[in-house]
Structure formats: C-alpha cells, structure tokens
C-alpha cells in the first residue's frame, strides 16, 4: 500500500471505549489532508469495533491481546506508522475532537518550517454537556516553550503533530515515567530539535474528572518530579519553581487546580474581549 506523501497518521490509543470513538473519528472528516487513523486497541474487552463508514476516513485497528498500558500502545502505533513510511504523526485521544482544518494547519506549518519537528496548539476543555471548563493558551516559540516546560505543561499531548523521523533521533515513548510519557518525550525532542505551538485552538478535549490523569494523578506527579530533576537547570528560577510546584500539587485537591485553570481562562477572555 502506498500512502500519499502528504498523508497524516493520527495515532489514537484506546482501552475499553465508552461510545466516544465514533465522534472522535468523525472530527477527522474535514481536515484538508489525507488521513490514516491508527487506532491501537490496548486489550479492550470486548475487542474494540468502530464504524469506518460513519468515520469517513481510512482506519487501521492494531490490537493487543491484553492491556499493556498507554506507553506500549503508543509505541505499537509508532512502529506501524514508521513501517508505512508516513511522514507525519498527529496524536489524538479517545473522546477528543479536532477543530476543522487542524491537521492541515499543523502539516502546513511543519512544511514551511523545516527546522521544527513538533508543533502543538492551544486547547479547549469541554465537559459532556458542551460547557467550556477552561482553555490553555500556550507559548508559541521554541525558547519560550522550553523555559515553560521546566514548571508546567507547554505542549498538550493529543494536540501535537510531529515528524515521524524524530523517532530516529530521540527514540520512542519511555515506559520509565508512568502517566508522564508525553512530558518526557517532549523534553527529549526539545533538546534535539525545535518545537512550536500554533496560537489557534485546534483541539477540543474532553474534560473527565475520572479520566486517566485523575486516576493516576499521584503516579503522574511522581514521574513529573523525576523528569524535572532529570532536566533541572540550577541557574534558572523555572526549574526551582517547577519542582516546588509539583511538590505542592501532592497536597492540593485536583478540584482546586481545575478551578484555578477556569479562573485564568475567564480572565483571559475578559482581557481579549
């Protein structure tokens, strides 16, 4: 099978879909690029099934016989995409939706900026009733992203697109940092290559207070702390602040963090109105 040079592979790991995958795949219809949706079924019971006709895009389902974790599911997808020879990989989580034209915008940006190997975007969180919970506007320039990464998320995993070739220089997702595999990979990429964010909000992600990040929050914080120490720069306030912030989050209820993000979003809306 020969893919068009401009094809984008969209990597979606899924474990026990709750009826969300169809809407996620449908959001790929109006993207302006050829798409291959690579869905990795990480040991779902019953095995995952999806309606390719309703999605309107080419879909490949890769299956694990048992649940092996998101890191290994992502790497299964990466290996398949590399073997297909597809040049661009976009991430998407089950339940999230791409804004129209997201993939074309990110692919065009990478085409126009050959020194950039990964590009993300601003992200909007909505609950199942459609209510906006908060919006994350992120630094767009490489140096600002790297500085920010010392103390907070500066690239949102399901909103990024990267060149498949970056795997050859930095490797695949590590299994050594449970629940923070994306953060650690982004550090490896940013140390070797330039990264960027588009200012536009190109992803609507599902706000789920019982989602993976919440269920594995303490594990995620422990992994985050280890990553921050691994990339610690003693001469920068960002590194010190990042470690202190992560330590503080062990004692702060997640609901407080959500409330703070919501207040920041409302303040930003007032400033730009």
79 three-state secondary structure: helix
Question: Which tokens sit at 177?
Answer: 């940092």
According to DSSP, the residues that pair with 121 across neighbouring strands are: 198
Residue extents of the structural domains in the chain: 8-272
CA-to-CA separations, 87 to 102, 117, 203, 213, 266, in angstroms, rounded = 17, 11, 21, 29, 38
Question: Which tokens sit at 41?
Answer: 């079924």
Residue 178 has pLDDT above 70, yes or no: yes
Segment 45-68 shows an average pLDDT of 87
Check residue 181 and give its pLDDT. 97
Check residue 270 and give its pLDDT. 36
Class of the CATH domain delimited by 8-272: alpha beta
**125: part of which helix (H) or strand (E)?**
strand 116-126
Report field, pTM of the whole predicted structure over 0.85: yes
Closest CA to 160 of 134, 130, 190, 132: 190
Pairing of strands 58-64, 194-206: unpaired
Pairing of strands 132-136, 97-98: unpaired
Between CA 149 and CA 20, with CA 156 as vertex, the angle to 5 degrees is: 155
Residue 224 has pLDDT above 60, yes or no: yes
- DSSP string computed for 8-53: EEEEEEESS--S-HHHHHHTTTTSSS-EEEEEEEES-SSPP---HH
CA-to-CA separations, 36 to 1, 8, 11, 83, 171, in angstroms, rounded = 12, 6, 9, 13, 22
pLDDT tens by residue, 72-94: 999 999 999 999 999 999 999 99
- Average pLDDT score, the chain: 90
Check residue 129 and give its pLDDT. 84
**106: part of which helix (H) or strand (E)?**
helix 102-112
Task: Using pLDDT thresholds of 50, 70 and 90, give the confidence band for residue 208.
Answer: confident
């Amino acid at each position: 099978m020969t893919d068009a040079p401009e094809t984008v592979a969209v990597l979606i790991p899924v474990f026990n879909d709750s009826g969300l995958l169809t809407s996620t795949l449908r959001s790929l219809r109006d993207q302006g690029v050829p798409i291959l949706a690579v869905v990795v079924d990480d040991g779902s019971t019953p095995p995952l099934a999806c309606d390719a006709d309703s999605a309107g895009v080419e879909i490949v389902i890769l299956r694990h016989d048992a649940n092996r974790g998101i890191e290994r599911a992502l790497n299964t997808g990466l290996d398949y995409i590399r073997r297909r020879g597809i040049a661009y990989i976009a991430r998407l989580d089950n339940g999230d939706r791409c804004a129209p034209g997201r993939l074309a915008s990110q692919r065009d940006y990478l085409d126009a900026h050959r020194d950039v190997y990964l590009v993300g975007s601003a992200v909007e969180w909505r609950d199942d009733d459609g209510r906006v919970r908060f919006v994350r506007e992120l630094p767009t320039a490489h140096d600002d992203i790297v500085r920010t990464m010392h103390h907070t998320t500066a690239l949102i995993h399901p909103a990024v697109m990267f060149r498949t070739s970056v795997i050859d220089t930095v490797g695949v997702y590590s299994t050594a940092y449970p629940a923070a595999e994306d953060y650690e990979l982004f550090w490896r990429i940013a140390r070797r290559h330039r990264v960027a964010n588009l200012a536009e909000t190109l992803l609507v992600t599902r706000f789920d207070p019982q989602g993976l990040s919440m269920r594995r929050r303490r594990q995620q914080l422990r992994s985050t702390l280890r990553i921050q120490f691994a990339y610690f720069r003693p001469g920068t306030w960002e590194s010190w602040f990042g470690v202190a912030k992560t330590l503080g989050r062990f004692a702060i209820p997640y609901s407080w963090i959500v409330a703070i993000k919501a207040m920041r979003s409302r303040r930003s809306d007032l400033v730009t109105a």
